[in-house]
Structures are given as structure tokens and as C-alpha cells.
Amino acid sequence: MQSNHRFTPKSLTLALALGLCSWLFVGQAQAERIKEVADFAGVRENALVGYGLVVGLDGTGDQTTQTPFTGQSLSNMLSSLGITVPQGTNMQLRNVAAVMITAKMAPFSRPGQALDIVVSSIGNAKTLRGGTLLMTPLKGADGQIYAMAQGNLMTGGAGAGANGSSVTINQQAGGRIARGALIEREIPLVLGDSAGKLQLLLREPDFNTAQKVVFAINSECNRTVASAADGGMIELEGPQAANARVNFMARINDINVSPSKALPKVVINSRTGVVVLNEGVKLYPAAVAQGNLAITIDTDPLVSQPNSFSDGQTATAKKSKVSVEQQGGGLRTVESSADLKDVVKALNALGASPADLMSILEALKAAGSLRAEIEII
């Protein structure tokens, strides 16, 4: 039996177009733009820091007897304003707090632009709620002043107290001031050299990702403009003119590339007990025995009373009873799991708490059953 299907040039072109569109859709669904995986060298934020005073607090500021630097800072500030404080004056201030101010200066920032700042108490102030930050210079790592901060503080916490009882919601010893600093000096920024050469830095260095980025850039430009210096840096030959260079960088940022998958990793937060696994984690067959150790300490006060009309004295003592109980744990098998869902199911089958799960994962790694890197933060 013969088939009489015939492809006309028009239908063949339509079929190829549909196939190409579907292939592009699948490829772009897993792709990321270069701007999401790499940054141009020199385009970075700069940290600013300063020391200042917050005034106008409702009796919740620093206790100057315990934080003498607060009174000293206020005296210096008053002196700069032409007010002389007699030497040896013990200023008992409760509406002033010493604070540190931090901010991030974005790249390409110019004088006159505003920055958001974070204000944090460094003394023993109870709360900065309702305070006003006095004019404070913000310095960079080179010691130069780049911005001036001032404004009314906004805190996210709240508290109340009466008759010795108090309730506090969130943290009140810090706050933010939106657009609370004005840039006074810009940080010099040089994009590439005089010949137009640029450097692209991968956020997660990887040889495969670097190779894919180089191939994607050269394919987009239809010529060789990119070359990998190593697994984390790619060198580009860009235009020399400033406007053409900006257009070239914008074009590079929007190129789609499929980065390599992250290495299998298990991240353990030992302080909070949080355990996170990525999709590359695999388990191989193993047997696990896990038991819980419970230690109980009971302390009872004892009173020794002397006999009547004797010269003895009443004495107190403590009697402690320590008991140790070990809950037996049978040997359980962990099946081989290549999918993240199967890994989670296998670990949940052990019935271990997060604290025990940390030890189990480290033991599985040592036994060669867990194929992943363990990172403790």
C-alpha cells in the first residue's frame, strides 16, 4: 500500500517554520539573559558608612552614663554650631542616640541624586521611633565623603509597657529613611580601556557556562568579539565611542544563554536547623540506624532543720537526679533516588528531626551514598 501524501513547497516551508518555532520555544524557556548570569567589570555598587546622632526621642535614647561617646559627640556637634559646653558638664540626655548609617551607592550615580539609608543604634537606646537624624557625612572605603544624610526616621517595630510589663513587636533599635541622603560626589567609573576592550564577569564561575556565553555572543554578532580568559571572565572587543559602547553592552546583556546546571549541593543552617537541597542531589542505596538520646535532670531543694534549742543553723541543699534514656532505632534502608521528589520522600521515611537529619546527611556523604556537596552556613 503506497501513501499519496505530497508536500508542496508552501506546506513544507510551513512545517519547517512550525518545527523551528517549537524548538526555539523550548530553548528559550530554559535560557537566561546574560545580564542575569554575568556583570560587566567596573559596574558595581559601593558601600557608604557614617556615624551620627538621632535626636527627638521620647526618653528612649542612650543612657549617657553607660555610653559616654553619645555625650561627647553631642558636645562636638554643638561646638561646631558655635555653642560651647562647659568642660566637665555631665549631660543627662535621654532623647539622643548614637547611630551608624549605612547606604549603597548604585553605579552611575551623580551628584544630587537621593539614596535610601539604614540607621542602626550602637548604644543602649530602647527605640529610635520618632527620632530625627542630624546631618551626617557618609564616607566610602577611601575615606572620602560621597553623600550627606539627614531626615526623619521610620521604624518597623512597636512596643508598649505598663506596671513592669512590656510587649515589643519586631526590632525598634533601627530604621530606614527613604531618600534620606543626597550624593555630593560621584565615584569615577571606567568602562573598558581606550581600545574598547570590556570584561564580563560570571557571577558563578564555570567553564561550561563561559563557553556557552562566548558562543552566544559571537553568534549574535556574526563575528568573533568574545573570548574566555578563564572560567569566570570573558573579554569583549567593543566600540571605542562611548555611545556605541553603551549600545553594544545593552545588546550583549539581552542575549539568551543556557547556563550549566548548578552542582548538587545540600545547604545546612546549623543555627536554625534549616536544610535545603537543590535538584541535582542524588541518593544511592544505604542503610541508616538512628536513635535519640534523652537526658533528664531533676533538681529538688532540701532543707536541713536543726533540733530545738540547739546551736545549729538551718541549711539548704539541692538534690539532683540525672537519667539518660536512649530510644532504640532500627536499621532502615534508603533506596536509590535520582529525582529530588524521591530524595525528599526517602529522607522523610526515616522520620528524623531536622537536627538529626543534618547528622544523617553528613553520614550518608561520608559513606558515599549522598552525591552532593554539603555546605554549612
Tell me: the pLDDT tens digits for 76-129? 888 888 888 887 777 778 899 999 999 999 999 999 999 999 999 998 888 999
- Give whole-number Cα distances, 58 to 89, 93, 97, 330, in Å: 22, 11, 11, 61
What is d(CA 125, CA 131) in angstroms, rounded to the nearest whole number? Answer: 11
Nearest-5° Cα angle at 135, 122 to 156: 50
Residues 32-47 have a mean pLDDT of: 92
Axis crossing angle, helix 340-348 with helix 354-367, rounded to the nearest 10: 120
Q: Which of 79-88, 254-263, 269-278, 299-308 has the highest mean pLDDT?
A: 254-263
Rounded to the nearest 5 percent, the helix, strand and coil shares of the chain are 25, 35, 40
Q: How far is CA 54 from CA 69, 159, 177, in A?
A: 13, 19, 12
- Eight-class DSSP state of 352: -
Do 266 and 373 meet the contact criterion of CB atoms below 8 Å apart?
Answer: yes
pLDDT for residue 340 is more than 60: yes
Mean pLDDT across the chain = 80
Supply φ then ψ for residue 362, to 5 degrees.
-65, -40
Residues belonging to the chain: 377
Q: Is 248 exposed, middle or buried (0-12, 13-18, 19+ CB in 10 A)?
A: buried
Q: Among 297, 298, 305, 363, which Cα is nearest to 329's?
A: 363
pLDDT tens profile 210-261: 999 999 999 999 999 999 999 999 999 999 888 999 999 999 999 999 888 8
Q: What is the mean pLDDT of residues 189-212?
A: 88
The span from the CA of 348 to the CA of 277, in Å, is 13
* Grid cell of 350 as nine digits: 526515616
pTM for the structure as a whole: 0.69
Tell how strand 145-152 and strand 158-162 pair up.
unpaired
Question: Is the model's pLDDT at 22 over the cut of 60?
Answer: no
Is the dihedral angle over the CA atoms 21, 23, 24, 25 positive or is it negative?
A: positive
Sequential DSSP letters for 21-65 = HHHHHHHHHS-EEGGGTEEETT---EEEEEEEEEE--SS-S--TT
How remote is the C-alpha of 129 from its chain's centroid?
Answer: 26
pLDDT in the model for residue 225: 93
User: What is the DSSP secondary structure assignment for residue 262, as one 8-state letter?
Assistant: P
Cell for 112? Answer: 544630587
Q: State mean pLDDT over 272-294.
A: 77
**Burial class (CB within 10 angstroms; exposed 0-12, middle 13-18, buried 19+) of 299:** exposed
Element (H, E) at 19: helix 9-29
Percentage, residues of the chain above pLDDT 70: 77
pLDDT, one tens digit per residue, over 131-165 is 999 999 999 999 999 999 999 999 876 555 555 55
